Amino acid sequence: MYLRPYQPGEAEALWRLLRDSVHRIAIAHYTPAQCDAWAPAAPPQGWGERLQQTPTWVMEAGDKAVGMVALTPAGHIDLLYTAPSHQRRGIARALLHWVEEEARRLDLSHLTTEASLAAHGFFIRHGFEALRCQAVQRHGVELHNWVMSKPLGDDARTPPSSGGTRASASAL
């Protein structure tokens, strides 16, 4: 598996990854209508620009994108998705470890995110604190998520699961 930067031209493939992840994983925590509002069939306007403008990394396995993460310059994890076919193999952990190191390189003091109900446990497991649950609107439908934060002090490191940009199969 390889972790690499987002490449222009794969926006539609990454939307399919997000959509599959929402409709097959997050569906355990949201209604079908909420999942449709969160991840409709077609990418929202500006999806490609969002991937282009927010530093985004892709985990690739056999020429296929199986995970993605995006980190704003302020340290906000904007996207974190693993393909349903590759759940629970350490991909999100490796992606989080990468952005955490990136945030340290940027000398940021915290990582923040708005975690879905499906991802709340993952972030708690990796040292994030849940600050509050909030309601957000997606295409006129209300969904809940968690505002979460993690300090980046030396005592708050995510245990590394990959060294650098190449992740071993055993780690993933």
Closest by CA to 35, choosing from 25, 43, 27, is 27
Q: Which residues contact 112 (CB under 8 A, 6 or more apart)?
A: 74, 75, 76, 77, 147, 148, 149, 150
Is 90 one of the binding residues for ligand COA (CB under 6 A)? yes
User: Looking only at residues 6 through 65 of this chain, which bind ligand COA when binding is defined by CB under 6 A?
Assistant: 21-22, 25-26
> Smaller CB distance to ligand COA: residue 71 or 92?
92
- Select from 44-52, 97-105, 112-120, 135-143 the region that touches ligand COA (CB under 6 A): 112-120
Angle at 34 between CA 24 and CA 121, to 5 degrees: 60
Positions of E strands within 84-140: 110-116, 129-138
Distances (CA, A) of 108 to 1, 93, 170: 28, 19, 30
Report how many residues bind ligand COA under the rule CB under 6 A.
Answer: 21
Is 91 one of the binding residues for ligand COA (CB under 6 A)? yes
- Select from 4-12, 48-56, 118-126, 127-135 the region that touches ligand COA (CB under 6 A): 118-126
Q: Report the residue from 1, 80, 111, 143 that binds ligand COA according to the rule CB under 6 A.
A: 80
Q: Confirm if 31 and 133 have CB atoms less than 8 A apart.
A: no
Least Cβ distance, residue 104 to ligand COA (angstroms): 19
> Which chain residues interact with ligand COA by CB under 6 A?
21-22, 25-26, 80-82, 87-93, 115-116, 118-119, 121-122, 125
